[in-house]
Chains A and B, each alone.
Chain A
Amino acid sequence: DQQVKQNSPSLSVQEGRISILNCDYTNSMFDYFLWYKKYPAEGPTFLISISSIKDKNEDGRFTVFLNKSAKHLSLHIVPSQPGDSAVYFCAASQLTYNNNDMRFGAGTRLTVKP
């Protein structure tokens, strides 16, 4: 069963506009969420995270929002740049349970057009 879902396989936006990537989860015990970015032929790299005690975390052009009641998180990229074109994975885990069993979504391919 996929406990973390990214329902949009792809997203295309114009350079300078906002990119919004969405992620839903089913396990209410998840309390730590991350976004990873992956370029072709490379491994995923950590982008930004948020714990369940917060509803927003910002790092430069990247902001992650968490809605615990809806079990939904989103990544906003403003403004989008062509170099942001990559696959973005959402991930979730339980910090309170020391097994590091992190669950990943299937990924969303973002294309930023010049």
Chain B
Amino acid sequence: DADVTQTPRNRITKTGKRIMLECSQTKGHDRMYWYRQDPGLGLRLIYYSFDVKDINKGEISDGYSVSRQAQAKFSLSLESAIPNQTALYFCATSDYQGQPQHFGDGTRLSIL
């Protein structure tokens, strides 16, 4: 079983819909992250959380919200999806400052 699991793996939806992407981990890490990947831009940080009570905005948080339901679960929401949010989304975890991040296999989101 994967250490960092993202659901769904693929999603196609329409403009204006509310979307939730979910991430769960079995690594026992406190830190969790959401990134998006766009061609030519690499991975950009959307939100990150150092523990259940700690949520921080990343480089590109506008249009997104997150919820840290438990140490193992971190979900990303698009309240009203728009086409330029079409991207590949990754969840990641890490143990503490300076440790490499462990990524899920990604969610490919297409907004029509």
The A contact surface, by secondary structure, is: loop
CB distance from A58 to the nearest CB of B (A): 17
How far is it, in angstroms, between the C-alpha of A67 and the C-alpha of B56 when the chains are bound?
32
How far is it, in angstroms, between the C-alpha of A100 and the C-alpha of B106 when the chains are bound?
20
Question: What sequence of 0s and 1s flags, for each residue 71-114 of chain A, a beta carbon within 8 Å of any chain B beta carbon?
Answer: 00000000000000000010100010011111111110000000
CB distance from B3 to the nearest CB of A (A): 10
| A45 with B103: CB separation less than 8 A | yes
Q: What residue in chain B is nearest A45 (Cβ atoms)?
A: B103
Question: What sequence of 0s and 1s flags, for each residue 23-53 of chain B, a beta carbon within 8 Å of any chain A beta carbon?
Answer: 0000000010101000011111100101000
Residues of A contacting B100 in the complex (Cβ-Cβ under 8 angstroms): 34, 36, 46, 49
A41 CB within 8 Å of chain B: yes
| B42 with A105: CB separation less than 8 A | yes
| A104 with B90: CB separation less than 8 A | no
Q: What residue in chain B is nearest A44 (Cβ atoms)?
A: B103
A60 CB within 8 Å of chain B: no
| A107 with B42: CB separation less than 8 A | yes
Residues of B contacting A44 in the complex (Cβ-Cβ under 8 angstroms): 43, 90, 103
Decide: A104 near B43, CB < 8 A? Known: A44-B103, A46-B101: yes
Interface, chain A (partner B; CB < 8 A)? 2, 4, 6, 9, 32, 34, 36, 41-46, 49, 89, 91, 95, 98-107
